Amino acid sequence: MRFLNPAVAWWFVALLAATILIRAAARRRPGVAATSTWVFDRAYRASIFRRLPAAVFLAAMVLLCCALMDPVLPVAETDVQSQGLDIVIALDLSSSMEEQMDPPGTAPAVHLAASTAADAPRPAAKTRMEATKDAIKAFVGRRIDDRIGLVVFSDNAYIVSPLTFDHRYLVRYIDMVDNQLLRGEGLTAIGEGLAVSSSLLARQASASGSRNKVIVVFTDGENTAGREPLGALADADAAGVRVHMVGVDLEEEMTKKPHVRTLLRAVTQQGGRYFNAGTARELDAAARAIDTIEKGVLVSRTYEHDAPVFQWFALPSLICFAAGFALRAIPAFIDQT
């Protein structure tokens, strides 16, 4: 605790000293004969409790002085805010995304002539597109503090949703994405998807300040159209954008191609990660891994201010004044001299 107006204490000390001097000067010892010295004997003096009202009034004045000195308590408050990311999801809509993604552990069907079990219904396998959309929607649901946008690409790339905090709106658009959205196209332009995603982040960066920027590409093939993805990836890296890539049921032979391996190596060298997801479960695991890697920043600001506590002294002072006046009303505490 500290006092903002300590000078009040000096005025109070001066007033108290003046009061004591005035009372001392006004006090006169009664003139009596020497034979009456018994009057001043300790046994005939007034009880010390007769001074209780004066003591209470003195305490009230001291407390009032403390209240007038403007006491405060320094208080520090910490404001913690979560600063999220700007994320663009680039989704491959090439024709191969409509192929089925078999669940793990399934074997080719065996025809048994005398078996009724062969006729038992089997759960329909999801297509690569369906499994990817489910993983993306789960990913979006976990990114509460992030602005997320959606870009789709096939022969060309298109913005489906700008960066937005309205994740319900975004999920509805993800649900509407299908093989009819880019009818007439069927190739894989990864470079175009990266370029349009980077452009979207650049256009909306002014409203987000220094938020970190991320692109997550979901694709099931190699680049077969549009600009070279290595150039688009280098441009994204120069703009401070991290790129992660998820291979959706990507065939092993494709990953061994030199230009594909060069692209995947460039992704990791520039701070991103590559995930090979051959099943729907692995797709979800890849999305969760990216969710773990890309975390927002907690911004902590400490504010200090003085909390006034004059009431801690003013209220007891009023109580003491009231108690002093109440004691003065009792005959045993009234001065008759």
Q: What is the sign, positive or negative, of the torsion defined by CA atoms of 254, 255, 257, 262?
A: positive
CATH code, domain carrying 148 = 3.40.50.410
What is the tally of structural domains in the chain? 2
d(CA 260, CA 61): 87
239 assigned to some structural domain: yes
Q: Compute the half-sphere exposure of residue 160: CA atoms within 13 Å on the CB side of its CA.
A: 26
Q: Are residues 220 and 253 in the same domain?
A: yes
Q: Are residues 324 and 268 in the same domain?
A: no
Q: Tell if the pTM clears 0.75, that is, is over it.
A: no
Helix 52-68 vs helix 7-26: crossing angle, to nearest 10: 160
139 assigned to some structural domain: yes
Q: Are residues 185 and 266 in the same domain?
A: yes
d(CA 26, CA 313): 32
Q: Are residues 129 and 182 in the same domain?
A: yes
- CB of 218 closer than 8 Å to CB of 136: yes
250 assigned to some structural domain: yes
Q: Are residues 150 and 228 in the same domain?
A: yes
Q: Are residues 256 and 312 in the same domain?
A: no
Tens-digit pLDDT profile for the chain (337 aa)? 777 788 888 888 888 788 778 877 776 555 555 555 555 555 545 566 667 777 887 888 888 888 888 888 877 666 555 567 889 999 999 888 888 876 554 444 433 333 344 444 555 678 899 999 999 999 999 888 888 999 999 999 999 999 998 999 999 999 999 888 887 788 889 999 999 999 999 888 755 555 688 999 999 888 888 889 999 999 999 988 999 999 988 877 888 888 889 999 999 998 899 998 888 888 889 889 988 888 766 455 666 777 888 788 888 888 887 887 887 777 766 655 4
**Strands 297-308 and 71-83, sheet pairing:** antiparallel
Cα distances (Å, whole numbers) of residue 94 to 210, 223, 297, 321: 34, 11, 35, 88
Cα distances (Å, whole numbers) of residue 203 to 19, 199, 207, 226: 77, 6, 9, 22
Q: Strand order in 297-308's β-sheet?
A: 2-3, 71-83, 297-308
- Please name which of 131, 190, 128 lies closest in space to residue 157, comparing C-alpha atoms: 190
Q: Are residues 130 and 231 in the same domain?
A: yes
251 assigned to some structural domain: yes
Q: Are residues 208 and 237 in the same domain?
A: yes
118 assigned to some structural domain: no
Q: Are residues 270 and 318 in the same domain?
A: no
- Structural domain span for residue 146: 85-99+124-295
